[in-house]
Amino acid sequence: MTTLRRIRVELSFLAALWKTNLLAALEYRASFISQVLGMLLNNAAFLAFWLLFFQRFPKVNGWGMRDMLGLYGMTATGFGLGVVLFGNALSLADIISQNGLDPYLSLPRPVLLHVLASGSRISGWGDILTGLLCMALLGPPDAAAWLRYGAAALVSMIVFISFLVLVASLTFWIGSASALSGSAINAILAFATYPMSIFDGSAKLILLTVIPAGFIGALPADFVRHYTGRGLAQLAAAALVFLALALIAFHRGLRHYESGGLATGMGG
């Protein structure tokens, strides 16, 4: 099978999985609407706090409300896309430790792609909407800026999901990385919603490598504001490197997978 046909087949499979996820989410309409609205409100409360803050201190180290809208909007979009399209990334450590990979391993599709896309967090739609609203508030509408926003959000999502896969893959060696995964998610989201300018050299290095929060919020948001070839290259390289590391870690770990007798199922 040619590479092009293989990509087409996998994309078609992904589209079918996402459609199935959406069907499952829409089975519970009231829950769907309440979760999306709840997340919108949650994000609005967070932004309202910053609005009050910047009304009192309009510029902090060169940063104002517009910068915060751009940063928070980007983080929300990247996170939202990640948990809507690859929702099982949040529970991958549990899935591995509870033998949940078995059904995916008995089907002819790439295991990691299949398991990640078999779950979707409805609240992520609220995050995506938050991101779009933030971008709209930053207006006026500019096609190039929206295009940059789309590309940057894609990088933000890829780095976020790859980071979660890397941490969850530790389960293959240490038996359970659920608590570690939870801490990692909290840490990366917390750091992603602060501007990089408040961190010094070594902290910055950590936020671009060990906990790559910089590639989820600040750098993609900068790229949306001002296009530079260097910014584009940095984002593309980050997405490729973290994706490659995640794929290597997961597939190396898969050789150590020890499926026991617990009862588990598919879907998210």
Contact indicator for 165, 91 with CB cutoff of 8 Å: no
Which two tokens mark 110?
């790439």
Only one residue has tokens 């919108």, namely: 40
Q: Number of residues in contact with other proteins, rule: CB under 8 A? A: 28
Stretch that binds other proteins, among 60-68, 141-149, 238-246, 253-261 (CB under 8 A): 253-261
CA 110: distance to chain centroid?
20
Query: CA angle 192-79-231, nearest 5°?
Result: 60
Site for other proteins (CB under 8 A): which residue of 13, 50, 63, 146? 13
Contact indicator for 62, 54 with CB cutoff of 8 Å: no
The verdict on 106 binding other proteins (CB under 8 A) reads yes
The verdict on 257 binding other proteins (CB under 8 A) reads yes
The verdict on 7 binding other proteins (CB under 8 A) reads no
Stretch that binds other proteins, among 45-53, 161-169, 191-199, 257-265 (CB under 8 A): 257-265
Distance between CA atoms of residues 123 and 120, nearest Å: 9
The verdict on 102 binding other proteins (CB under 8 A) reads yes
The verdict on 101 binding other proteins (CB under 8 A) reads yes
Distance between CA atoms of residues 235 and 156, nearest Å: 9
The verdict on 258 binding other proteins (CB under 8 A) reads yes
Stretch that binds other proteins, among 13-21, 63-71, 180-188, 212-220 (CB under 8 A): 13-21
CA 224: distance to chain centroid?
17
Site for other proteins (CB under 8 A): which residue of 50, 109, 145, 151? 109
The verdict on 179 binding other proteins (CB under 8 A) reads no
With CA atoms as reference, report the closest residue to 177 among 186, 185, 167.
167
Cβ-proximal residues to 28 (8 Å cutoff; 6+ apart), any chain:
none
The verdict on 267 binding other proteins (CB under 8 A) reads yes
Residues binding other proteins (CB under 8 A): 9, 12-13, 16-17, 20, 23-24, 27-28, 101-103, 105-109, 255, 257-259, 261, 263-267
